Protein backbone atom coordinates (compact mmCIF):
# COMPACT_ATOMS: atom_id res chain seq x y z
CA UNK A 1 0.00 0.00 0.00
CA UNK A 2 1.28 3.46 -0.89
CA UNK A 3 2.32 5.40 2.20
CA UNK A 4 1.37 8.99 3.00
CA UNK A 5 4.18 11.60 2.82
CA UNK A 6 4.03 12.04 6.59
CA UNK A 7 4.71 8.33 7.10
CA UNK A 8 7.50 8.26 4.52
CA UNK A 9 9.19 11.14 6.32
CA UNK A 10 8.66 10.12 9.95
CA UNK A 11 9.78 6.55 9.26
CA UNK A 12 12.53 7.61 6.81
CA UNK A 13 11.19 4.73 4.66
CA UNK A 14 11.64 2.40 7.63
CA UNK A 15 15.29 1.70 6.86
CA UNK A 16 17.22 -0.10 9.60
CA UNK A 17 20.92 -0.43 10.35
CA UNK A 18 21.71 -3.68 8.46
CA UNK A 19 24.19 -5.02 11.04
CA UNK A 20 22.63 -4.08 14.39
CA UNK A 21 18.99 -3.55 13.40
CA UNK A 22 19.11 0.00 14.80
CA UNK A 23 16.21 2.20 13.79
CA UNK A 24 18.72 4.91 12.82
CA UNK A 25 21.21 3.68 10.21
CA UNK A 26 24.86 4.42 10.95
CA UNK A 27 27.05 6.81 8.95
CA UNK A 28 29.24 4.98 6.41
CA UNK A 29 32.55 6.83 6.44
CA UNK A 30 34.80 4.81 4.15
CA UNK A 31 36.20 6.71 1.17
CA UNK A 32 37.05 3.59 -0.83
CA UNK A 33 35.89 -0.02 -1.20
CA UNK A 34 37.87 -3.26 -1.43
CA UNK A 35 38.06 -5.54 -4.45
CA UNK A 36 37.64 -9.28 -4.31
CA UNK A 37 40.40 -11.59 -5.47
CA UNK A 38 38.89 -11.68 -8.96
CA UNK A 39 39.01 -7.84 -9.03
CA UNK A 40 35.24 -7.48 -8.67
CA UNK A 41 33.63 -5.21 -6.07
CA UNK A 42 31.50 -6.96 -3.46
CA UNK A 43 28.75 -4.30 -3.39
CA UNK A 44 29.42 -2.75 -6.76
CA UNK A 45 31.09 0.29 -5.18
CA UNK A 46 34.44 1.66 -6.25
CA UNK A 47 35.07 5.07 -4.68
CA UNK A 48 33.10 7.51 -2.52
CA UNK A 49 32.94 10.26 -5.14
CA UNK A 50 30.50 8.21 -7.23
CA UNK A 51 29.34 5.42 -4.93
CA UNK A 52 28.68 6.80 -1.45
CA UNK A 53 26.09 4.59 0.30
CA UNK A 54 25.39 7.47 2.72
CA UNK A 55 23.41 9.22 -0.03
CA UNK A 56 20.94 6.45 -0.69
CA UNK A 57 18.39 6.98 2.08
CA UNK A 58 17.91 10.71 1.44
CA UNK A 59 17.72 10.04 -2.30
CA UNK A 60 15.14 7.28 -1.85
CA UNK A 61 13.06 9.52 0.41
CA UNK A 62 12.99 12.35 -2.12
CA UNK A 63 12.12 9.94 -4.94
CA UNK A 64 9.19 8.63 -2.91
CA UNK A 65 7.95 12.14 -2.12
CA UNK A 66 8.32 13.47 -5.68
CA UNK A 67 7.17 10.33 -7.50
CA UNK A 68 10.56 10.22 -9.20
CA UNK A 69 12.40 7.38 -10.92
CA UNK A 70 15.65 8.45 -9.21
CA UNK A 71 17.21 11.23 -7.14
CA UNK A 72 20.74 12.46 -6.56
CA UNK A 73 22.33 14.31 -3.64
CA UNK A 74 24.83 17.11 -4.26
CA UNK A 75 27.13 19.33 -2.22
CA UNK A 76 24.78 22.33 -2.55
CA UNK A 77 21.79 23.60 -4.44
CA UNK A 78 24.14 25.40 -6.83
CA UNK A 79 26.05 22.14 -7.42
CA UNK A 80 22.79 20.42 -8.36
CA UNK A 81 21.81 23.28 -10.69
CA UNK A 82 25.15 23.48 -12.47
CA UNK A 83 25.43 19.69 -12.87
CA UNK A 84 22.12 19.72 -14.73
CA UNK A 85 22.95 22.71 -16.92
CA UNK A 86 26.40 21.37 -17.80
CA UNK A 87 24.71 18.21 -19.09
CA UNK A 88 23.76 20.35 -22.09
CA UNK A 89 25.91 20.82 -25.19
CA UNK A 90 27.75 23.99 -26.26
CA UNK A 91 25.39 26.03 -28.40
CA UNK A 92 22.28 24.93 -26.51
CA UNK A 93 19.79 27.54 -25.35
CA UNK A 94 18.10 27.87 -21.95
CA UNK A 95 15.02 29.86 -20.97
CA UNK A 96 15.03 30.97 -17.32
CA UNK A 97 12.79 33.23 -15.24
CA UNK A 98 13.64 36.88 -14.76
CA UNK A 99 12.72 36.42 -11.08
CA UNK A 100 14.75 33.55 -9.66
CA UNK A 101 17.51 32.64 -7.19
CA UNK A 102 20.02 35.43 -7.81
CA UNK A 103 23.21 33.31 -7.60
CA UNK A 104 22.02 30.93 -10.31
CA UNK A 105 20.89 33.84 -12.49
CA UNK A 106 24.37 35.35 -12.17
CA UNK A 107 26.01 32.00 -13.03
CA UNK A 108 23.80 31.55 -16.10
CA UNK A 109 24.73 35.01 -17.30
CA UNK A 110 28.46 34.51 -16.82
CA UNK A 111 29.94 31.03 -16.36
CA UNK A 112 27.35 29.14 -18.42
CA UNK A 113 27.97 31.52 -21.30
CA UNK A 114 31.67 30.62 -21.23
CA UNK A 115 30.62 26.99 -21.81
CA UNK A 116 28.73 28.10 -24.93
CA UNK A 117 25.29 27.87 -23.28
CA UNK A 118 23.05 30.87 -23.96
CA UNK A 119 20.28 31.96 -21.59
CA UNK A 120 17.20 34.06 -22.26
CA UNK A 121 15.56 35.50 -19.15
CA UNK A 122 11.80 36.10 -19.31
CA UNK A 123 8.94 36.68 -16.83
CA UNK A 124 7.74 33.09 -17.08
CA UNK A 125 4.91 33.67 -14.60
CA UNK A 126 3.27 35.96 -17.15
CA UNK A 127 1.05 34.59 -19.92
CA UNK A 128 2.82 34.24 -23.25
CA UNK A 129 6.31 34.94 -21.92
CA UNK A 130 7.60 31.38 -22.32
CA UNK A 131 6.21 31.02 -25.83
CA UNK A 132 7.98 34.20 -26.85
CA UNK A 133 11.31 33.11 -25.37
CA UNK A 134 11.51 29.59 -26.82
CA UNK A 135 13.73 28.98 -29.84
CA UNK A 136 12.59 25.80 -31.59
CA UNK A 137 15.56 23.63 -32.46
CA UNK A 138 17.90 25.49 -30.10
CA UNK A 139 16.13 25.63 -26.74
CA UNK A 140 17.03 22.45 -24.85
CA UNK A 141 16.16 23.41 -21.28
CA UNK A 142 13.54 25.55 -19.56
CA UNK A 143 14.16 26.47 -15.93
CA UNK A 144 11.17 27.40 -13.76
CA UNK A 145 11.16 28.47 -10.12
CA UNK A 146 7.80 28.49 -8.33
CA UNK A 147 7.25 30.23 -5.98
CA UNK A 148 10.12 32.38 -7.31
CA UNK A 149 12.50 33.99 -4.85
CA UNK A 150 12.10 36.77 -3.67
CA UNK A 151 8.83 38.04 -5.20
CA UNK A 152 7.14 34.60 -4.94
CA UNK A 153 5.78 34.65 -8.50
CA UNK A 154 3.82 31.51 -9.40
CA UNK A 155 4.41 29.86 -12.77
CA UNK A 156 1.95 27.41 -14.30
CA UNK A 157 4.11 24.28 -14.32
CA UNK A 158 1.72 22.14 -16.38
CA UNK A 159 1.46 24.77 -19.10
CA UNK A 160 5.23 25.32 -19.04
CA UNK A 161 5.76 21.57 -19.42
CA UNK A 162 3.44 21.37 -22.43
CA UNK A 163 5.12 24.28 -24.20
CA UNK A 164 8.61 23.06 -23.31
CA UNK A 165 7.99 19.55 -24.58
CA UNK A 166 6.36 20.93 -27.71
CA UNK A 167 9.67 22.64 -28.42
CA UNK A 168 11.64 19.43 -27.83
CA UNK A 169 13.20 20.68 -24.59
CA UNK A 170 13.28 19.56 -20.97
CA UNK A 171 11.66 21.35 -18.03
CA UNK A 172 13.41 21.65 -14.66
CA UNK A 173 11.55 23.17 -11.71
CA UNK A 174 13.25 24.68 -8.68
CA UNK A 175 10.73 23.70 -5.99
CA UNK A 176 12.87 24.61 -2.98
CA UNK A 177 10.28 26.93 -1.46
CA UNK A 178 7.27 24.69 -2.11
CA UNK A 179 8.91 21.43 -0.94
CA UNK A 180 7.41 18.12 -2.17
CA UNK A 181 4.63 18.51 0.38
CA UNK A 182 3.12 21.56 -1.34
CA UNK A 183 3.91 20.95 -5.02
CA UNK A 184 4.98 17.91 -7.04
CA UNK A 185 6.38 19.29 -10.32
CA UNK A 186 6.94 15.86 -11.90
CA UNK A 187 3.24 15.07 -11.55
CA UNK A 188 2.54 18.33 -13.41
CA UNK A 189 4.76 17.34 -16.32
CA UNK A 190 8.25 18.53 -15.34
CA UNK A 191 11.22 16.36 -16.28
CA UNK A 192 13.34 17.17 -13.26
CA UNK A 193 12.89 18.95 -9.94
CA UNK A 194 15.63 20.69 -7.95
CA UNK A 195 15.80 21.41 -4.23
CA UNK A 196 18.32 23.37 -2.27
CA UNK A 197 18.28 20.82 0.54
CA UNK A 198 20.11 23.34 2.73
CA UNK A 199 16.73 24.98 3.17
CA UNK A 200 13.42 23.36 4.17
CA UNK A 201 14.31 19.73 3.44
CA UNK A 202 16.94 19.86 6.18
CA UNK A 203 15.32 22.71 8.11
CA UNK A 204 17.95 23.26 10.76
CA UNK A 205 20.50 25.61 9.15
CA UNK A 206 23.36 23.23 9.88
CA UNK A 207 24.36 21.76 6.50
CA UNK A 208 24.74 22.60 2.83
CA UNK A 209 23.26 20.24 0.22
CA UNK A 210 21.25 20.09 -2.99
CA UNK A 211 19.10 17.43 -4.64
CA UNK A 212 17.73 16.60 -8.07
CA UNK A 213 14.90 14.18 -8.83
CA UNK A 214 14.07 12.90 -12.30
CA UNK A 215 11.01 11.51 -14.03
CA UNK A 216 13.20 9.26 -16.21
CA UNK A 217 16.58 7.60 -15.85
CA UNK A 218 17.60 8.58 -19.36
CA UNK A 219 20.84 9.66 -21.04
CA UNK A 220 20.47 13.22 -19.74
CA UNK A 221 20.20 11.89 -16.17
CA UNK A 222 23.30 9.76 -16.69
CA UNK A 223 25.18 12.85 -17.81
CA UNK A 224 24.10 14.67 -14.65
CA UNK A 225 25.38 11.80 -12.48
CA UNK A 226 28.62 11.77 -14.47
CA UNK A 227 29.01 15.51 -13.82
CA UNK A 228 28.46 14.95 -10.10
CA UNK A 229 31.23 12.36 -9.95
CA UNK A 230 33.74 13.95 -12.31
CA UNK A 231 33.33 17.49 -10.96
CA UNK A 232 33.32 16.28 -7.35
CA UNK A 233 30.01 17.98 -6.56
CA UNK A 234 29.25 15.58 -3.70
CA UNK A 235 28.02 16.06 -0.18
CA UNK A 236 29.75 14.45 2.78
CA UNK A 237 28.52 11.37 4.63
CA UNK A 238 27.77 13.32 7.80
CA UNK A 239 25.78 15.91 5.83
CA UNK A 240 23.77 13.14 4.17
CA UNK A 241 22.96 11.62 7.56
CA UNK A 242 21.96 15.03 8.98
CA UNK A 243 19.74 15.63 5.95
CA UNK A 244 17.80 12.43 6.60
CA UNK A 245 17.41 13.45 10.24
CA UNK A 246 16.06 16.83 9.17
CA UNK A 247 13.70 15.40 6.55
CA UNK A 248 12.02 13.21 9.15
CA UNK A 249 10.25 16.29 10.58
CA UNK A 250 9.65 18.11 7.29
CA UNK A 251 5.88 17.61 7.42
CA UNK A 252 5.62 19.04 10.93
CA UNK A 253 7.83 22.02 10.18
CA UNK A 254 6.11 22.86 6.89
CA UNK A 255 2.66 22.73 8.45
CA UNK A 256 3.66 25.05 11.31
CA UNK A 257 5.67 27.47 9.17
CA UNK A 258 2.91 27.73 6.53
CA UNK A 259 0.32 28.51 9.20
CA UNK A 260 2.57 31.16 10.74
CA UNK A 261 3.35 32.71 7.35
CA UNK A 262 -0.30 32.97 6.32
CA UNK A 263 -1.31 34.54 9.64
CA UNK A 264 1.53 37.06 9.49
CA UNK A 265 0.77 37.92 5.86
CA UNK A 266 -2.86 38.59 6.72
CA UNK A 267 -1.93 40.85 9.62
CA UNK A 268 0.82 42.69 7.74
CA UNK A 269 -1.50 43.40 4.81
CA UNK A 270 -3.45 45.89 6.95
CA UNK A 271 -0.48 47.32 8.88
CA UNK A 272 -0.07 51.07 8.27
CA UNK A 273 3.70 50.74 7.86
CA UNK A 274 3.36 48.21 5.02
CA UNK A 275 2.73 49.22 1.41
CA UNK A 276 2.41 45.67 0.02
CA UNK A 277 2.63 42.05 1.11
CA UNK A 278 3.82 39.46 -1.42
CA UNK A 279 2.53 36.03 -0.42
CA UNK A 280 0.77 33.43 -2.63
CA UNK A 281 -1.75 32.66 0.07
CA UNK A 282 -3.32 36.13 -0.03
CA UNK A 283 -6.28 36.71 -2.39
CA UNK A 284 -4.69 40.05 -3.29
CA UNK A 285 -1.57 38.31 -4.64
CA UNK A 286 -1.40 38.24 -8.44
CA UNK A 287 -0.78 34.48 -8.66
CA UNK A 288 -3.14 33.43 -5.87
CA UNK A 289 -5.67 31.51 -7.99
CA UNK A 290 -2.93 29.58 -9.77
CA UNK A 291 -1.25 28.87 -6.44
CA UNK A 292 -4.54 27.43 -5.13
CA UNK A 293 -4.69 25.06 -8.09
CA UNK A 294 -1.03 24.10 -8.15
CA UNK A 295 -0.15 23.97 -4.44
CA UNK A 296 -1.72 21.91 -1.70
CA UNK A 297 -1.58 21.94 2.11
CA UNK A 298 -0.40 25.55 2.24
CA UNK A 299 1.39 28.31 0.37
CA UNK A 300 4.87 28.11 1.83
CA UNK A 301 6.84 29.78 4.58
CA UNK A 302 8.23 32.67 2.51
CA UNK A 303 6.80 36.16 2.13
CA UNK A 304 8.09 39.61 1.31
CA UNK A 305 6.90 43.01 2.50
CA UNK A 306 7.38 46.45 1.03
CA UNK A 307 7.81 49.05 3.75
CA UNK A 308 6.38 52.55 3.49
CA UNK A 309 9.11 55.14 3.69
CA UNK A 310 11.49 53.52 1.23
CA UNK A 311 14.72 51.55 1.70
CA UNK A 312 15.81 53.49 4.79
CA UNK A 313 12.59 52.55 6.59
CA UNK A 314 12.91 48.93 5.47
CA UNK A 315 16.50 48.63 6.70
CA UNK A 316 15.54 50.31 9.99
CA UNK A 317 12.67 47.85 10.46
CA UNK A 318 14.99 44.87 9.95
CA UNK A 319 17.49 46.41 12.36
CA UNK A 320 14.73 46.87 14.94
CA UNK A 321 13.92 43.15 15.12
CA UNK A 322 15.31 41.23 18.06
CA UNK A 323 13.67 37.82 17.59
CA UNK A 324 13.89 37.64 13.79
CA UNK A 325 17.49 36.99 12.79
CA UNK A 326 19.03 39.18 10.08
CA UNK A 327 20.58 36.42 7.99
CA UNK A 328 20.59 34.90 4.50
CA UNK A 329 18.79 31.59 3.94
CA UNK A 330 15.29 30.22 4.30
CA UNK A 331 13.30 27.19 5.39
CA UNK A 332 14.81 26.76 8.85
CA UNK A 333 12.99 26.43 12.14
CA UNK A 334 14.16 29.92 13.09
CA UNK A 335 12.66 33.01 11.44
CA UNK A 336 14.91 35.23 9.31
CA UNK A 337 14.52 38.74 7.89
CA UNK A 338 16.63 40.33 5.19
CA UNK A 339 16.89 43.47 3.07
CA UNK A 340 17.28 41.51 -0.12
CA UNK A 341 18.34 44.28 -2.54
CA UNK A 342 21.45 44.87 -0.41
CA UNK A 343 22.45 41.24 -0.85
CA UNK A 344 21.66 40.86 -4.55
CA UNK A 345 23.19 44.10 -5.76
CA UNK A 346 22.29 46.51 -8.58
CA UNK A 347 20.81 43.88 -10.92
CA UNK A 348 18.34 42.58 -8.35
CA UNK A 349 14.64 42.51 -9.30
CA UNK A 350 13.87 43.45 -5.69
CA UNK A 351 12.38 46.86 -4.96
CA UNK A 352 14.73 48.64 -2.52
CA UNK A 353 11.95 48.89 0.07
CA UNK A 354 11.48 45.09 0.19
CA UNK A 355 12.20 42.83 3.15
CA UNK A 356 12.24 39.05 2.67
CA UNK A 357 10.87 36.99 5.56
CA UNK A 358 11.54 33.30 6.11
CA UNK A 359 8.93 32.28 8.65
CA UNK A 360 9.90 29.59 11.14
CA UNK A 361 8.24 27.50 13.81
CA UNK A 362 8.20 29.90 16.76
CA UNK A 363 5.03 31.02 18.52
CA UNK A 364 3.03 33.23 16.17
CA UNK A 365 2.40 35.94 18.75
CA UNK A 366 6.10 36.24 19.56
CA UNK A 367 6.94 36.67 15.88
CA UNK A 368 4.18 39.23 15.43
CA UNK A 369 5.10 41.24 18.52
CA UNK A 370 8.71 41.53 17.37
CA UNK A 371 7.75 42.61 13.85
CA UNK A 372 5.14 45.08 15.00
CA UNK A 373 7.56 46.70 17.43
CA UNK A 374 10.20 47.02 14.70
CA UNK A 375 7.72 48.50 12.22
CA UNK A 376 6.27 51.08 14.61
CA UNK A 377 9.43 52.27 16.37
261 and 242 part of one domain: no
Query: pTM here?
Result: 0.95
Q: Does 166 score more than 90 pLDDT?
A: yes
Q: What percentage of the chain has pLDDT greater than the value 90? A: 90
Region 237-253 average pLDDT: 98
Question: pLDDT (tens digit, 9 = 90+) per residue, 74-92?
Answer: 999 999 999 999 999 999 9
192 and 306 part of one domain: no
Question: pLDDT (tens digit, 9 = 90+) per residue, 215-225?
Answer: 999 999 999 99
Tell which of 247, 281, 302 closes a domain.
247
27 and 90 part of one domain: yes
> What confidence score (pLDDT) does residue 46 get?
86
Provide the pLDDT confidence category of residue 37 given band limits of 50, 70 and 90. Answer: confident
Region 338-359 average pLDDT: 92
Provide the pLDDT confidence category of residue 1 given band limits of 50, 70 and 90. Answer: low
Question: pLDDT (tens digit, 9 = 90+) per residue, 112-149?
Answer: 999 999 999 999 999 999 999 999 999 999 999 999 99
The CA dihedral of 107, 113, 118, 120, to the nearest 10 degrees, is 40
> What confidence score (pLDDT) does residue 36 get?
86
Provide the pLDDT confidence category of residue 232 given band limits of 50, 70 and 90. Answer: very high
> What confidence score (pLDDT) does residue 41 get?
80
Domain at 109, CATH number:
3.40.640.10
Region 312-341 average pLDDT: 97
Domain with 272, as residue range(s), is 250-376
Tell which of 224, 247, 270 closes a domain.
247
Domain at 282, CATH number:
3.90.1150.10
> What confidence score (pLDDT) does residue 116 get?
96
Average per-residue pLDDT for the chain: 96
Region 97-110 average pLDDT: 95
> What confidence score (pLDDT) does residue 348 get?
82
Annotated active-site positions, please?
49, 101, 174, 199
The tally of domains found in the chain comes to 2
Rounded to 10 deg, the angle between the 77-85 and 102-109 helix axes is 30
46 and 195 part of one domain: yes
**Mapped to the 3 state alphabet, what secondary structure does the chain carry?**
CCCCHHHHHHHHHHCCCCCCCCCCCCCCCCCECCECCCCCECCCCCEHHHHCHHHHHHHHHHHHHHCCCEEEEECCHHHHHHHHHCCCCCCCEEEEECCCCHHHHHHHHCHHHHCCCEEEEECCCCCCHHHHHCCCCCEEEEEEECCECCCCECCCHHHHHHHHHHCCCEEEEECCCCHHHHCCHHHHCCCEEEECCCCCCCCCCCCCCEEEEECCCCHHHHHHHHHHHHCCCCCCHHHHHHHHHHHCCHHHHHHHHHHHHHHHHHHHCCCCCEEEEECCCCCCCCCHHHHHHHCCCCCCCEEEEEECCHHHHHHHHHHHCCCCEECCCCCCCCCEEEEHHHHHCCCCCCCCCEEEEECCCCCHHHHHHHHHHHHHC
> What confidence score (pLDDT) does residue 2 get?
83
Amino acid sequence: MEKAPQTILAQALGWLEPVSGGVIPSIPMSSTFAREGDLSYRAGRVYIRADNPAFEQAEAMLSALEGAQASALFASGMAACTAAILALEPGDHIVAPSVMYWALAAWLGSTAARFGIETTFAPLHQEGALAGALRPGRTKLVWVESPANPLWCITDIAEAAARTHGCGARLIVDSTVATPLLTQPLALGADLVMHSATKALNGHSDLCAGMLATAAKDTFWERILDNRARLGAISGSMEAWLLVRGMRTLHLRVERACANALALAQRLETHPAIAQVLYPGLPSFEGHELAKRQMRNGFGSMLSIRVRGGPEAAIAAAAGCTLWKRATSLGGVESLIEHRASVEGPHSPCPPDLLRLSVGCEALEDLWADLEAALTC
